[in-house]
Amino acid sequence: MIELPDLAAGGLALGTLSALALGGGLLRSRRRLAVQRAEIARLRGQLDGVLQMFTSEVEHLAAQRVPAAARQLTHPNVLVPGPLQPRTSSSPLGIGLESVLRSLRAELVAQRTRIDAAAQAGMRGATREIQAALYRLQDALRKLQQEYDEPELTQTLFQLDHENEQSLRRAQVAAVVCGAWVGLAREESHLVDAVTGGQARLSGYHRVRVNNHLEAGTALVSHAVEPVAIIVAELLDNALRHSAPDTDVVVNLEQVHHGVCVTIDDAGVGMTQDERARAQGLVAGSEPVLLTDLGDPPRMGFAAIGQLTRQFDLGVDVSSPSAYGGVRAVLRVESHLLSHVDPVEQPPAASAPRSTRKPARDGTAVSVASHGFGAEGDDGASTAVSGHQSPRDAGELPQRRRRVRATGEEAGAPKKQPVRRPADSAAALGALQSGTAAARAGDDTDQTDVEGGAAR
Amino acid sequence: MTGRRGGRPLVPAYLSTGGVARPSRSHLERLSVLTAAGPPAPAELPAAGLALLDVLAGGSLTVVEAAALLRLPVSAVRVLAADLIDRGLLLSRAPIPAADRFDPDLLKRVADGLRALKH
């Protein structure tokens, strides 16, 4: 029989044991809890840190990196700062942020192009109208120049014509920059005419000296005439603008292996390396032009050249400095844009400089090449001397041509200017008279001598 | 491209005289006769001046004829010619007055006289 006190003692012992066991378990679990708490606290702290870093990265993106990326599109020298923590760039967060910048750039470029295209279309329409109006004005002015020759009026007309040419140049260049056609169809023309025409469009055209070393008759195919004139005008404008007003700008037209080169040298301040690189990029026309890239006020000259070189397969180089200290610009016209115009049938403009290729500067030789009389006289010497027109221009209106040279050749006087000063005439008549008198006197030798003198 | 001759000229007229429209001498008229004076043209002459001497190389022309050949306005040729006259490269003569009609009666009498000589 178990006694009650034993029972009680046993129960107590059991209770103590279980209490001990429970207490141990409790203690252990409490320790584990503490560890877990510490872990949670640490994790929370880490999470807070990450969140803060994330926030600051995004803030940095919004405040610094996005504006810089936007500005970099217009100013390539701007550096886009990286993330705050260099480690972020390789993390998924960094990659995500980078893709934000990338799509932002793409969208901005697309928007800029779209807006610029709209602006260009607007300007194209406006300048085309202006250009057409200025051509009409030019027609009117030239008609007036032909009709009236009073000096005072002509002076005004010349000034107006020149002003009009300059306005026309500006309107045309703006239109070309905006992707328009040059606006005028010309026929095949002498290259020197295109260059001289370009020269006439500038306010400082007095300072331009053109040396023409081309063969007579070197011409441009019709669609290249106006582009070459525009390019030459813009290159000359740049040269005149950046050189002192008392210096000359020298233009040389030279034959090269693949065509013709127009070299423009100025004695101005020249361009820095950066400017030269930028100008070369613009005139090469390799990239499409944005109006917003041209500055304010927009500098359109080089951009227009770039458009034209791309469209018409012309080559322009402004990368080398000139021997005169300024800029040397070279326009290269390839052979496929060149043609030949008969300088006799269709002489170059009177103001266009002569080719230096002709043998000499004696009047008759030049006249043979530049006007029809002499050369036709050569033909006419074998065919019938009609005095009007040769069969080859039968389709045109009859034109009065003089035959002086032909008769001169028949008479066997190869090179004699049929010019008579009054004194010469008197001498000739006097000689004739004395010759006649001598002949009447019957002296033969005297006669020939005097006649020889008279013919001179 | 358009195929017509002599479209819009590339080189404006004012370039021929360097923008000057007032001739240095005022007696030149449209029908004044110009003649090259003989001395060879100096090389530094402006291109248009040389061109004017060239068209006169074969003989004399009136101002208006030279203008048509050079495709310049008469006013420009007057400036060029006046300059060349100043340089002694050109001679000018007053316009040839319009000829009076010959008296037909006089002509007839001359013809009769000539015939009488022949017989």
So what's the pLDDT on residue A400? 58
CA distance A254 to A330: 11
Neighbours of A99 (CB within 10 A): 10
Residue with tokens 């020939």: A448
Residue B79 and residue A351 in contact, taking contact as beta carbons nearer than 8 Å: no
Count of alpha carbons within 13 angstroms of residue A404, beta-carbon side: 18
CATH top-level class for A186-357? Answer: alpha beta
Please tell me if residue B82 touches chain A, with a CB cutoff of 8 Å: no
* Contact: A363, B48; criterion CB under 8 Å: no
Residue pairs spanning A and B at CB distance below 8 A? 156
Residue B72 and residue B13 in contact, taking contact as beta carbons nearer than 8 Å: yes
A351 vs B7, higher pLDDT? A351
So what's the pLDDT on residue A118? 94
Cis peptide before A347 (omega within 30 of 0): no
Residue B91's φ and ψ, nearest 5 degrees, are -115, 145
Report the interhelical angle of A151-177 vs A301-312 (nearest 10°). 70
CA distance A392 to A386: 13
Judged against a pLDDT cut of 80, whether residue B28 lies above it is answered with yes
Tokens of A333: 């016209």
Tokens of A26: 């409790």
Which ranges of A148-221 would DSSP assign to H, the alpha helix?
Answer: 151-177, 191-200
CA distance B50 to A353: 9
Residue B67 and residue A154 in contact, taking contact as beta carbons nearer than 8 Å: no
- For residue A422, the 8-state DSSP code is H
Interface test with chain A among B54, B70, B72, B78, by most A beta carbons within 10 Å: B54
- For residue A64, the 8-state DSSP code is I
Q: Using pLDDT thresholds of 50, 70 and 90, give the confidence band for residue B29.
A: confident
Interface test with chain B among A156, A188, A351, A400, by most B beta carbons within 10 Å: A351
CA distance A374 to B75: 27
Neighbours of A117 (CB within 10 A): 15
Strands A327-334 and A315-321, bridge-based pairing: antiparallel
0.80 surpassed by pTM = no
**What one-letter code names the amino acid at A151?**
P
* Contact: B2, A185; criterion CB under 8 Å: yes
Pick the residue from chain A with its C-alpha nearest to B42: A361
Residue A456 and residue A417 in contact, taking contact as beta carbons nearer than 8 Å: no
Residue B74 and residue B67 in contact, taking contact as beta carbons nearer than 8 Å: yes
CA distance A157 to A151: 10
Side-by-side strand order, sheet with A189-190: A189-190, A218-220, A338-340
* Contact: B8, A135; criterion CB under 8 Å: yes
Domains of chain A, residue spans: 4-90, 91-184, 186-357, 367-382+400-418, 420-456
SS3 B36: strand
Which of B15, B17, B69 has the CB atom closest to A196's CB atom? B15
Residue with tokens 């004395």: A434
Residue A364 and residue B55 in contact, taking contact as beta carbons nearer than 8 Å: no
Instruction: Measure CA of the first residue to CA of the last residue in chain B; give whole Å.
Output: 67
Residues whose CB falls within 8 Å of the CB of residue A39, separated by 6 or more in sequence, listed in order: none
Over chain A (456 residues), the average pLDDT of each successive run of 10 is 81 90 91 94 93 91 92 86 82 89 93 92 93 95 91 93 95 93 90 95 93 92 94 94 92 94 91 87 85 81 93 91 89 94 89 77 40 40 40 52 46 51 80 84 52 43
User: For residue B7, which residues of chain A lie inside 8 Å, CB to CB?
Assistant: 185-187
User: For residue B20, which residues of chain A lie inside 8 Å, CB to CB?
Assistant: 155, 158
B8 vs A448, higher pLDDT? B8
Tokens of A96: 């995500």
Question: What does each C-alpha distance from A75 to A46, A79, A80 come to in angstroms?
Answer: 40, 9, 11
* Contact: B73, A154; criterion CB under 8 Å: yes
Count of alpha carbons within 13 angstroms of residue A68, beta-carbon side: 13
How far away is chain B from the Cα of A440, in angstroms, using its nearest Cα? 24
Cis peptide before A288 (omega within 30 of 0): no
Domains of chain B, residue spans: 16-118
* Helix or strand holding residue A321 (H, E): strand A315-321
Name the nearest CA neighbour of A324 among A250, A275, A266: A266
CA distance B63 to B78: 7
- For residue A256, the 8-state DSSP code is E
So what's the pLDDT on residue A46? 92
So what's the pLDDT on residue B3? 37
* Contact: B10, A149; criterion CB under 8 Å: no
CA distance B65 to B95: 13
